[in-house]
Amino acid sequence: MALLEVRGLTKRFLGVTAVDRVDLTVEPGELVSLIGPNGSGKTTLFNCVTGYLGADGGRVLVRGRDLTNAPPHRVARLGVARTFQQVSVFPRLTALENLLVFLQQHQEESVLARLVRAPGVRRLEAAAIERARRLLDLVGLDAKAGLPAGSLSYGQRKLLAFAGALMPDPDLLLLDEPAAAVNPTMINQMKEHILGLHRQGKTVLLVEHNMDVVMDISQRVVVLDHGQKIAEGTPEAIRRDPRVIEAYFGR
Amino acid sequence: MRRVGWLALGVLVAAVPWLVAAAVPRQQRYVLHVLIFTALFAALALSYDLVVGHVGSLSLAHPAFFGVGAYTAAILATTARWPFVADVAAAVVAAALVAGLVGVPLFRLAEHAFAVGTLGLGLVASVVANNWVEVTRGPLCITGIPKPKLAGFAITTLPAYYWLALAALAGVALLYRGLTTFRLGRAFHAVRDNEPLAGAAAINPLKYRMLAFTIAAGLAGGIGALYVHYLSVMCPEEMTVALTVNLLVIVFLGGVGSLRGVLVGAVLFTALPEVLRLAPTWRLVIYGALLLLVVIRSPGGLESLLRRAPAR
């Protein structure tokens, strides 16, 4: 069964069809990229899949389960993690707390157990702290654990947001432009992180403008233009596809 | 060391009635009266800060919940002759219930609209209190509310009431701390800091907002009940929207989202106007000037001054 299946998804904004009957399937363990010129509907598609926008038509299925128009927290709860194009952190929580908050809601304890800090909750918390420290280590932010996330640099916040998405060990990871507006060293770092996840068998769907990154790491590329899917295939095939070249460079 | 410090502070605060009696024997009643008000206001401000400071929703409806609790207790204690503990419990439940009912539609409003919506609720509650004469007696007030009886002890003296108010404050502070730290606090703060991202972290923002809102309302209702048992009268003017202004001053000038800040704010801004009675003509002018000074010198509230102090 496909991990993510998008069927005929449509989203309109005041008569403009931002996403137009798009079909998209991601199999477990795949690394798929979604590309297209600015305004082609990539982020809108992401937002429809993760519950941030209501779809006007079509369906979104995760492991066969219908999640069309489910609210964001439900989508997340079912193992779909995402990052945002604009770096998004909780500025007044520390870097460590930023990661902890991404895991805790996946562990079902009652409000009362949390209020009185029941032993079971304390154990979960201790394990979560350990995992968070390992992830901070992975993205090179271990020294910043105790600082408010708002005080970190743009690139550091981007890495923190990435680590946050990894906290609950999601089945499907949707990354919205992880390489945008960061320096070349960090782009390489990000690339390595994503490839590392792929090697661990994680499923990743990527929106990215940086063609070097996309062509380097993707197994499959899906191209959107004016909200429609115009091509799909391996990076080599996409590079030579006349429709793609036309969409990017015009005729 | 910290424990010893807290214990010493607790003993000191609990011993205040004797200290006051020794220091200013002729003013004892007045000073205790101000301190009881301070404790109740501090507890009310803490409950308010759960919503304003921790889930970041500017509610102006807190006087309404205070009033619902106050009237529930007042009516049950007089006409129905309910015992003290039962009518306080009913006040908590009634206020939380009202919050639970109005909260869901109110939280559909974003930020400023939410503030205006809650202001509307506060005004409606005040109008109802004034005009539903059959139940609230309107401007005639509900009088003759009996002094509380707790486990066989009648709480009639001012020191006894001071200890009751202090115990209530301690209870609210403890609950406040439990709610605003660890996993619950983190979820509240995530909703406050970045609601869309909180959704991506599998947090249901509405659930946590409602949790803070209803608990805060229940606490406000309970404090309302203690308040009317103390005064033995409940009038509509006790729950006007003006009460919100006092709460906003305490919370924002004390230190929004901080237990210590709100406590400091409550002590200063409830006791200060009383101290300033020494200069009656200029009292409110000096008070206003001091508020301005705090806002200008320390926009984060007095708490941020404490935090900046190196000693720790």
Distance CA A165, CA A131 (A): 13
Distance CA B236, CA B67 (A): 8
pLDDT digits (tens, 9 = 90+) for B140-159: 888 888 888 887 788 888 88
The upper half-sphere exposure of residue A55, i.e. CA atoms within 13 Å in the direction of its Cβ, equals 27
Q: At B153, list the tokens.
A: 């002890």
Span of B15-29, B104-118, B122-136 with lowest mean pLDDT: B15-29
Q: What is the mean pLDDT of residues B67-88?
A: 92
* B254 Cα distance to chain centroid: 13
Q: So what's the pLDDT on residue B308?
A: 61
B204/A93 CB distance under 8 A: no
Distance CA A178, CA B83 (A): 63
Q: How confident is the model at residue A251 (pLDDT cuts 50, 70, 90)?
A: low
For strand A220-225 and strand A228-233, is the pairing parallel, antiparallel, or unpaired?
antiparallel
Which residue of A105, A109, A117 is in closest CB contact with B201? A105
Distance CA B152, CA B272 (A): 36
B194/A115 CB distance under 8 A: no
Mean pLDDT of all residues belonging to chain B: 88
Q: So what's the pLDDT on residue B99?
A: 95
Q: At A102, list the tokens.
A: 């991404």
Dihedral class, residue A30 (left if φ above 0, else alpha if ψ from -120 to 50, else beta): beta
ipTM value = 0.89
* B62 Cα distance to chain centroid: 8
Distance CA B100, CA B77 (A): 24
Answer yes or no: is pLDDT of B309 > 60: no
3-state secondary structure of A9: strand
Return the bridge partners of A222, or none.
Answer: A34, A232
Contact B2, B155 (CB under 8 A): no
Instruction: Specify the amino acid at residue B3.
Output: R
Contacts of A52 in chain B (CB under 8 A): 196, 199
B190 touches chain A (CB under 8 A): yes
Q: At A228, list the tokens.
A: 């429609």
B184 touches chain A (CB under 8 A): yes
Contact A189, A162 (CB under 8 A): no
Cα angle value A173/A175/A176 (rounded, 5°): 150
Q: What is the mean pLDDT of residues B192-219?
A: 94
B187 touches chain A (CB under 8 A): yes
Cβ neighbours of residue A58 closer than 8 Å, sequence gap 6 or more: A6, A7, A8, A9, A10, A21, A22, A68
Determine the residue among A114, A160, A162, A167 to mutate to test chain B binding: the one whose Cβ has the most chain B Cβ atoms within 10 Å: A114
Q: What is the mean pLDDT of residues A115-140?
A: 91
Other beta carbons within 10 angstroms of residue B120's beta carbon come to: 15
B193/A165 CB distance under 8 A: no
Answer yes or no: is pLDDT of A154 > 50: yes
Contact B108, B266 (CB under 8 A): no
B182/A72 CB distance under 8 A: no
Of B76, B117, B78, B77, nearest in space to B99 by CA = B117
Return the bridge partners of B135, or none.
Answer: none
Contacts of A105 in chain B (CB under 8 A): 187, 201-203
Q: At A224, list the tokens.
A: 């959107």
Cβ neighbours of residue A32 closer than 8 Å, sequence gap 6 or more: A26, A204, A205, A206, A218, A219, A220, A221, A222
Other beta carbons within 10 angstroms of residue B140's beta carbon come to: 10
Cβ neighbours of residue B190 closer than 8 Å, sequence gap 6 or more: A90, A93, A101, B197, B198, B201, B203
Q: So what's the pLDDT on residue B249?
A: 87
- Stretch 210-229 of chain B: residues touching chain A, C-beta under 8 Å: 211
Answer yes or no: is pLDDT of B312 > 60: no
Contacts of B204 in chain A (CB under 8 A): 71, 73
Q: How confident is the model at residue B1 (pLDDT cuts 50, 70, 90)?
A: low
Answer yes or no: is pLDDT of B311 > 60: no
CA distance A118 to chain B (A): 12
Complete edge-to-edge strand list for the sheet that includes strand A172-176: A80-82, A172-176, A203-207, A31-35, A220-225, A228-233
A105/B202 CB distance under 8 A: yes
- pLDDT > 70: percent of chain A: 100
Q: What is the mean pLDDT of residues B197-208?
A: 93
Residue B184: C-alpha distances to residues A180, B62, B160, B192 (Å)? 34, 22, 34, 12
Q: What is the mean pLDDT of residues B62-86?
A: 92
Answer yes or no: is pLDDT of A181 > 50: yes
B197/A89 CB distance under 8 A: yes
Q: Which residue of A has its CA nearest to B183?
A: A114
> pTM, whole model, 2 decimals?
0.89
A88/B179 CB distance under 8 A: no
B211/A111 CB distance under 8 A: yes
Residue B227: C-alpha distances to residues A250, B29, B145 (Å)? 74, 17, 11
Q: How confident is the model at residue B252 (pLDDT cuts 50, 70, 90)?
A: confident
Cα angle value B271/B277/B280 (rounded, 5°): 150
Contact A157, A89 (CB under 8 A): yes
Distance CA B302, CA B305 (A): 5
pLDDT digits (tens, 9 = 90+) for A42-97: 999 999 999 999 889 999 999 989 999 899 999 999 999 999 988 789 999 999 99
Of B224, B44, A206, nearest in space to B52 by CA = B44
B202/A73 CB distance under 8 A: yes
B6 vs B198, more confident: B198
Other beta carbons within 10 angstroms of residue B121's beta carbon come to: 20
Return the bridge partners of A61, or none.
Answer: A5, A66
